[in-house]
Each structure stands twice: as structure tokens, then as C-alpha cells.
Amino acid sequence: MTRIIAVTNQKGGVGKTTTTINLGASLARMHRRVLLVDLDPQANATVGCGVDRVNLSGSSYQLLLDACTLGEAVVVVREGLDLLPAESGLAGAQAELGGEEGNDNYRLRSALGGATGYDYIFIDCPPALNVLTINALVAAHSVLIPVQCEYYALEGLTGLLETVARVRQSANPGLVIEGLLRTMYDGRNSLTREVSEQLSQHFGDKLFRTVIPRNVRLAEAPSYGKPVIDYDEKCLGSLAHLALAGEMMDATSAQDNTPAEQTGGAP
């Protein structure tokens, strides 16, 4: 079964795109088939995968408007890793598509229904709770939330979790929290440790054990249009995402082996 995961946090600059690209590439290195969906008008995941966002045969924007098929739009990034690229036209999707209660919120779910052969689909969401993010939450099985361990880390989570709860009630009852991921982590910083402890107290086993450290090579990789594992496979950023991929595979295996009546929503 393909697992669809929305990577989102309404706060910008927390590592959503970095997580999407590098977790996807790490899972592909572990012989899983992965599709990345760039749903952010900034198209950072597209550029970070080395894809020219100007000369595209299709895009997530065109797919949402039924102007192309998924097969026409998907680009191969590397073995086992494909990308549904984004373009700047996505910025107008808020006006072209309906509001939170409209049928347009089901467009991405319908489009991804034709995605076969993938083990994981990761949706890189924009840093806002808009119609694009709602489409992602309606289409997804779970939500992965990157969180930077800083003073305002918990501030934006309440709104996001409320939105997840509303989507679960209205459109996607199976939606759960995959986990919260600590990003840009610096254990030498006392504030980082304090926020990390707060996250652990609030979210318990929904907090990934793996942390993603601040790492120069990880920050450099997008400028070369590569996942960090293809840029420097031995750096701390690569090793951390490989560890995260292993943790996610273990969690997926456990979920697949859990009887349906024992599964349910997350906080």
C-alpha cells in the first residue's frame, strides 16, 4: 500500500522542503519507490531536485486544474525517486480553487489516485493553512511536522493541529500525525534542549527519535540541485536522514502489522 504523507508546518523556515527531499532520497536509497509532490508556489523542492521549473511538461498546478495527467507531469530525479514539480502559477490557486468546504479540496486526492507503484508519496506543503495545504491533508494518510527547536516552535502548532482535526472530522477520518521532527538541531544550545524537552512532554511517542542537525553540507546541497545523500553521503545531514528513513520504515511496518480496529487518530 502506498503511504501518502503531508509534510507541513504553517511556520516557514523550519525545514519542510529539506525534509521532503532528503527523507524521500534516503528511502529511495533503501530500495523504496518514492514520489515527491511539490505543492509550494516557491517550487523549492523542484529546484532542490535539480529540475528546471520553467520548461515543464506538467506541474502540480496543472494537475490540480485537470490540465495534465500525473504521468505527463512526473519527472525522474534519480533511481527510485520521482517528482511532481511545481510552478509559480500555484500562487494563484487560492483564488482559482474553492474554500475549505468546497469540492476543490479533493482534487489532489483524486489526482494521486492514479499514482501506482510507490511505497511513499511525500507532499511538500506551502507555509500557510490555505487551499493547497487542505488539499494535501485531504489526500494524505498522515502528517509529518518539521519543528525547529526555537522560542516560537510551539506557537504555530496549535493552529495546524486544529486544522488536522477539522479535516479528520469533515473529509479524511483516517488522517493521523505521523510524527514531529526536530530540525536544525544544535544540542550545545540550552534553548534547543529546553524546546526539545517541551516537545517530548507534549507529544510523547509522536516525536521522532531522530533529530536533524544543523549541517553545512545539508544547507549547501539544494544549490547543487541534489539531495544531500547524493552531494555528500557521509555528512551528518545524510546520516541523520538515513536514520529517519529507517525509523519511518520501522513505523510503517508496525502500522501494517497492526489490526485495523487498533489504529486510530492521533492527538
Query: Could you report the per-residue pLDDT of 87-144, keeping only the tens digit for each?
Result: 988 888 777 876 545 678 999 999 998 899 999 999 999 998 889 999 999 999 999 9
* Angstrom distance (rounded) from CA 41 to CA 33: 25
Residue length of the chain: 267
Q: Which residues contact 218 (CB under 8 A, 6 or more apart)?
A: 18, 22, 212, 228, 235, 236, 237, 238
Domains held by the chain: number: 1
Assigned domain for 264 exists:
no
In the three-class reduction of DSSP (H, G, I as helix; E, B as strand; rest coil), residue 265 is classed as: coil
Dump strand ranges (E) for the chain.
Answer: 3-7, 34-38, 75-78, 81-84, 120-124, 142-148, 176-185, 207-213
Per-residue pLDDT tens for 148-202? 988 777 777 888 999 999 999 999 999 999 999 999 999 888 888 998 998 999 8
Residue 112 domain-assigned (yes or no): yes
pLDDT at 211 over 90: yes
Residue 256 inside a domain? The answer is no
What count of other Cβ atoms lies within 10 Å of the Cβ of residue 190?
A: 8
Q: Does residue 185 sit within a domain?
A: yes
Question: Which residues span the domain enclosing 199?
Answer: 3-248
In a domain, 259, yes or no: no
Structural domain includes residue 190 = yes
Is residue 149 situated within a structural domain? yes
CATH number (domain holding residue 186): 3.40.50.300
Given this model, what pLDDT does residue 102 score?
Answer: 62
d(CA 35, CA 139): 14
Beta-carbon contacts of residue 45 (< 8 Å; ≥ 6 apart): 17, 20, 21, 36, 38, 83, 86, 124
- Answer yes or no: is 258 within a domain: no
